[in-house]
Structure 1
Amino acid sequence: MTNHLRFAGQPDAAQAEALRAIIRATPLLTDVLERLPALGLPDSWLVSGAIYNTVWNHLTGRSPLTGINDIDLFYFDASDLSYEAEDRAIKAADRIFAGLPLPVQLRNQARVHLWYPERFGEAYPALNSSREAIDRFASLTHAVGARLDGKGEIELYTPFGLDDLFSFRLVPNRRMNNRATHEKKAERARGVWPEIVVEAW
């Protein structure tokens, strides 16, 4: 039986290095990170379930793709907020990431405030970076991004740290009205990784 909590409570630097090691040990994620710069898009990051679900799979001994639906990629380009510009980027991503075992979902975070109110029924602030979008994930646990720096090393963005992730603890992010999303994601996650503890909204 694996000790899935072996990195819980460790210092921040140790947890960051553990996350980098898990990413490096996962061919799909290293492949995505290596292809990402070819898009040539500003402020681009690998985010969401492809990272945190991989961590939980690794630490519980599950197969690498368990519970992962797609590969989420963010970028931030305020120079052209048209749907057409984003669609061109999405089509480029389809070519660059062809052959992966999961679909890629690429979104320009500079445009989210334009479509969010119609889709979710409430206002969303215009953002200044992809990092600000990560800051607003429904769960603090999910707020993690990764990319390669200029030296090919894994750069992480973890605004709330990694202890919740390594503790298998889903903590709501009350910065926005994300209760429904937090609860929906928590229910799904518990069904795949029963080790998870959910903090109620």
Structure 2
Amino acid sequence: MRKLNLRDGWIAAGFVRNAVWDHLHGRAPSALTGDVDVIWYDPAVTDPVQDRRYEAVLRAAVPGIAWSVKNQARMHLRNGDRPYRSATDAMRHWPETATAIAVRRRGEVGCDVAAPLGVDDLMHLILRPTSRFLAEKRAVYDGRIASKRWIENWPRLRQQL
């Protein structure tokens, strides 16, 4: 991903969250069953065709992974939000607090972490909807809990509203 040199680019959401939950459950990393979310932010390049180009580069470099690249500069339109100011700002509008996390490499051994809603829920195995999904989109949050089977897969998780 570093070779793409994405403006404000991160690996985010389930890939990071699941790795943390696996670690906190004392087990080896789970197999990748979904996509790996790559987010970036560049308001000058909002055509989704560019995201598909980046996905193709990533697939060629690391085949077998379902890469999902999304420029957060346009995602507010799909979500009915005000325009986002950065990739990190966009994460504030995601469904769960523990999912609003992203990482990127810094140099050969460093790592940046973006967690606009904090890491407490993630680190304490708490499933909690973000305020918007609690107030306005609760059915979406509840559907995600059921369809993703998180509590079944990570039994120490606790739901809190």
RMSD: 2.1
Instruction: Report what 2:67 is aligned to.
Output: 104
Residue 14 (structure 2) pairs with residue 49 (structure 1): yes
Once residues 4 and 32 of structure 2 are traced to their aligned partners in structure 1, the CA distance between those partners, rounded to angstroms, is 26
Structure 2 spans left out of the alignment, 5+ residues: none
Instruction: Report what 1:73 is aligned to.
Output: 38
TM-score between both structures, scaled by the size of structure 2: 0.84
* Greater alpha carbon shift after TM alignment, 49-58 vs 82-91: 82-91
Cα 1:149–1:87, aligned 2, differ >3 Å: closer, same or farther? same
Once residues 90 and 19 of structure 2 are traced to their aligned partners in structure 1, the CA distance between those partners, rounded to angstroms, is 21
Contact 1:76 1:108 in 2 (8 A): yes
TM-score between both structures, scaled by the size of structure 1: 0.69
Report runs of 4+ in structure 1 exceeding 3 Å deviation: 175-178
Cα 1:95–1:184, aligned 2, differ >3 Å: closer, same or farther? same
Compare CA radii of gyration and give the structure with the larger one: 1
Residue 126 (structure 2) pairs with residue 169 (structure 1): yes
Deviation at 1:44, TM superposition (A): 0.4
Q: 2:139 aligns with which of 180, 189, 195?
A: 180
Matched residue count: 157
Residue 158 (structure 2) pairs with residue 197 (structure 1): yes
Once residues 107 and 27 of structure 2 are traced to their aligned partners in structure 1, the CA distance between those partners, rounded to angstroms, is 32
Once residues 63 and 183 of structure 1 are traced to their aligned partners in structure 2, the CA distance between those partners, rounded to angstroms, is 27
Once residues 106 and 130 of structure 2 are traced to their aligned partners in structure 1, the CA distance between those partners, rounded to angstroms, is 28
Q: 1:142 aligns with which of 66, 78, 99?
A: 99
Structure 1 spans left out of the alignment, 5+ residues: 1-35, 118-122
Cα 1:152–1:139, aligned 2, differ >3 Å: closer, same or farther? same
